[in-house]
Amino acid sequence: MTTIETEVARRDLASEIDGLPGFRPRLSVEGLSVGFATSEGHRPIVHDVSFDLHPGQCVAIVGESGSGKSVTARSIVGLAGRGARVEAEAITLHGRDVRTLSPRRWRDIRGREVGFILQDALVSLDPLRPVGAEIAEGLRLHGWGDRRARGKRVVELLASVGVPNPEHRARQRPDQLSGGLRQRALIASALALDPDVVIADEPTTALDVTVQAQVLELLEASKRRGASIILISHDLSVVAQLADHVLVMRNGRVVEQGAAAQLLGSPREEYTKALIAAVPSEDTRGAALSPGGRRLLADAPPAPEVLDEVVIEARDLVRRFRAPDGSATTAVGGVSFDLHRGETLGIVGESGSGKSTTGRIALALERADAGTVTLLGKPWSGVPESERRALRSRISVVSQDPLSSFDPRWNVERILLDALPRQAFPTAAARAERIRALLDQVGLAHAVLRRFPLRLSGGQRQRVAIARALAEAPDIIVLDEAVSALDVTIQAQILDLLVALQRRLGLSYLFISHDLGVIAHLCHRVLVMKDGVVVESGTPDEIFHRPQQPYTRQLIDSIPAFEPNRIQEKTA
Amino acid sequence: MTATAAPPAARPTAPARLRRQPWDLYAALAATAVFALAALWPDLLATQGAFTMDLANTLQPPSAAHWFGTDEAGRDLYSRVIHGTAASLGIGIGAAAVSLTLAAVLGALAALGNRATSASVGWLLEVAFAFPALLLSLLLIAVLGPSILTLILAVGIGTAPGYARMVRGQILGAKDSPYVEAAIALGHSRGRILRQHILPNSLRPLVAVFALSIGQSIVWASSLSFLGLGIAPPAPEWGALLDAGRPYITVAGWLTVIPGVVIVLLALTTTTLGRHLQSFLEKGEK
């Protein structure tokens, strides 16, 4: 049976079941529209969203920032917020109309019937209260057992979400727990009363990939036990892992919806296709990720050979930091690498692995306690800044948050003017011409010159940051999580731009990222870092297919598979 | 004073837009105009000279002839308040200027100096901040003797440590900012970074603070005058007016209440202007 036939059969079955009394969907949303009152009047955010959620099913809402996916989920459970106008033909939870429920009734339902997992565990948990007390509070509010029973239940819950040593952890405050443990505590509190509908809003977004794998496994387990999940995510690979039914949202509207395998495997709408094509992975190496990138790469010269010339040579770099309690932590403990001309060297690792510190030492923005960096054959680390200044134009940087790296008083023109070397562009006309050329190179309209970065979109800001990095015509650019904060289609455009620029200008990139997909797509060679040391290095092929070290293997296995073929097999 | 509160004519057709107008700013601007006029050309507003006595009409309550009443020598309080504006405003502006100049220099030294300088200036600021500012001012007046100049210096120096700490924090924040790091990565020199990024970004908030500080300084100077440590009566400086009215507070309360209200109005005016300036400058960044 083909996938589509399977899906049709499943849908028939589902509609048959729907027709039987007692087999209605747990949650049914029809024609949901949400708008907010603003000073300029009513502003619609979500238009006409409909879907059903069945027992044991996961419905995913996918979309980029501003697509209305979170507002949709919140509106369903009466959390749309102040000034929101929620309209729907029907919102039915467990067969009862919940459109007109009072906030009081909602409080009763949330937690008991609907669990809500929020994105950021650090701000969602009370910082002054032990996590155990926080979870017990939910139980208490719904009148669950007595104090002792609740205490026991909390420990059980924490154990069930894989928190090691739960008796001890229950007594700790959120700031004493790691990001992964916090997220699990949050999940435990959402699942405390065993709600059969769970809404997870970007549940893994801030997490490292290995922790993400654990959290997804938890959600998968609760689905197997019969819970229905609404998953909000921008990450298609996470969605592919968990979802049975997918809604793709854009500008508040559902662009396309259907069974996960069918939608991700053979999308009908252009937008969905673009969204799926934009996901970087090893398979996309050398290919464009964005529609505009195809032309960009076609116009660019073919990829030049990576030369033998070493532009950065780092040897045995060590950097220790003193913690507030006086103890020393080693952020970087003996890292060595060579970056060749025309090469992209990826440094991948989870938070705290020392990858960013390594990048900062390479930029000489951080001093190394031991070891040396040589830039273009000249000493770079350990010399006074005044000596380095002449070489500074050879290496530049693009960071994750471009906005804070621009002087807030300056518009784009001033930012770029400031970055131009004065002696190379002595006249105002030469500078203006160079700035135009830079804007053309990064694909920005000249009109942005007068604008302030705060008024630009994330992608435009990152393009300005890249234009600034190119201003001095450097040999090397250090990109520290440069695409991590961007939506996937914007990320695709920036990655395509980086590839085109490298081909055209022969740049070398030191590309630091936590995202294995991006690293696999872009890099010629990869360093895998953990706890300040390089665990393994090699070509993407070696790292992703024949990892030698257990940690690398664990990392690779944690990547949620985003291969539509494999999903199809799963369903078939 | 009635002029300060009168808002521009309202159009009833768009109530929502009218409600969004910054009426407090308009009122403050109007008040500033009145205060400036009183300070520069007092004779345009005053009905009499500051020292014109009329012993037949002493301690008269406010009336049509004497809007703010008269004092024990029959001098018209309204005219005295108008004539005192220049002195009070001058002290306020002067003290604010002294205070912020000092604060900028000390704050910059504490934030940018070498280890020894920043440590010693930082220590000095902590001590000066902990030391009651009023006591510091009193000490200065005791040493230098009361005069307008002493008052300006005393208030300026007394309030400087607080602002200096603010400047220091601003500079340290700018110094550690990603945009300064970006400038280092571009290979710009220390002097250029200081000139282009650190000083403009950290000193700009002082423009708004200056306006806020004028009002505060006038209140300070008035309290010193009230204690008899500033300008002595019968000079019409507002603090001195308060001091002069003190013996008659039970029989002629307006002699203290009205100058007090005027001081509060001026302080309110400069603070309102300062706040609007601040939010305007912050919006300019966006």
pLDDT at B146: 79
The pTM of the full predicted model, rounded to 2 decimals, is 0.80
| Cβ atoms within 10 Å, residue B151 | 30
CA distance A268 to A274: 11
Tell me which chain B residues have a C-beta less than 8 angstroms from the C-beta of A359: none
DSSP class of residue A303 equals: P
CB contact under 8 A, A392 and B187: yes
CA distance B75 to B54: 6
DSSP class of residue B70 equals: B
Q: Which two tokens stand for residue B37?
A: 């006029």
The residue with tokens 């809007």 is B67
Task: Give percent above pLDDT 90 in chain B.
Answer: 21
Assign B18 a pLDDT band (cuts: 50, 70, 90). low
Dihedral sign of CA atoms B268, B269, B274, B280 in order: positive
DSSP class of residue B51 equals: T
Domain map of chain A by residue range?
Answer: 121-194, 298-400+471-565
CA distance A562 to A239: 9
Tell me which chain B residues have a C-beta less than 8 angstroms from the C-beta of A419: 186
Tell me which chain B residues have a C-beta less than 8 angstroms from the C-beta of A471: 186
Interior/surface letters A294-309, b for 16+ CB within 10 angstroms, e for the rest: eebbeebeeeeebeee
CB contact under 8 A, B285 and A408: yes
Minimal-distance CA residue of chain A relative to B179:
A405
Provide the CATH number for the domain formed by A298-400+471-565 in this structure.
3.40.50.300
| Residue A37 DSSP SS3 | strand
φ, ψ of residue B98 to 5 degrees: the values are -60, -45
Assign B5 a pLDDT band (cuts: 50, 70, 90). very low
Dihedral sign of CA atoms A375, A378, A384, A387 in order: negative
Q: Enumerate domains of chain B plus CATH numbers.
A: 76-284 (1.10.3720.10)
Q: What is the pLDDT of residues B59-110, one digit of tens each?
A: 888 888 888 888 888 888 899 999 989 888 999 999 999 999 999 999 999 9
CB contact under 8 A, B182 and A452: no
Chain A: residues touching B (Cβ < 8 Å): 39, 363, 365, 385, 388-393, 395-397, 399, 401, 404-409, 418-419, 452, 454-455, 468, 471-472
* Residue B68 near residue B62 (C-beta atoms within 8 A): yes
Q: Which two tokens stand for residue A125?
A: 């948990």
Q: Which two tokens stand for residue A433?
A: 């011409």
Minimal-distance CA residue of chain A relative to B184:
A365
pLDDT for A339 beyond 90 = yes
CA distance A524 to A346: 8
CA B166, distance to chain mean position in Å, is 17
Q: What is the pLDDT of residues A461-507, one digit of tens each?
A: 999 999 999 999 999 999 999 998 888 889 999 999 999 999 999 99
Task: Give percent above pLDDT 70 in chain B.
Answer: 91
Q: What is the pLDDT of residues A415-460, one digit of tens each?
A: 999 999 888 888 999 999 999 999 999 999 999 999 999 888 888 9
CA A142, distance to chain mean position in Å, is 35
pLDDT at B11: 42
Distance from CA of B116 to the nearest CA of A (A): 21
Minimum mean pLDDT range among B41-55, B142-156, B195-209, B271-285 = B271-285
- Structural Rg of chain B based on CA atoms: 23
The residue with tokens 């009443």 is B69
Distance from CA of A340 to the nearest CA of B (A): 21
Chain B: residues touching A (Cβ < 8 Å): 20, 177-179, 181-190, 196-197, 200-201, 204, 284-286
Mean pLDDT over each residue of chain A, to the nearest integer: 86
* Residue A122 near residue A128 (C-beta atoms within 8 A): no
Beta strand extents in A56-212 (DSSP E only): 58-63, 84-87, 90-93, 96-97, 114-117, 197-201
Q: Which two tokens stand for residue A352?
A: 């705290």
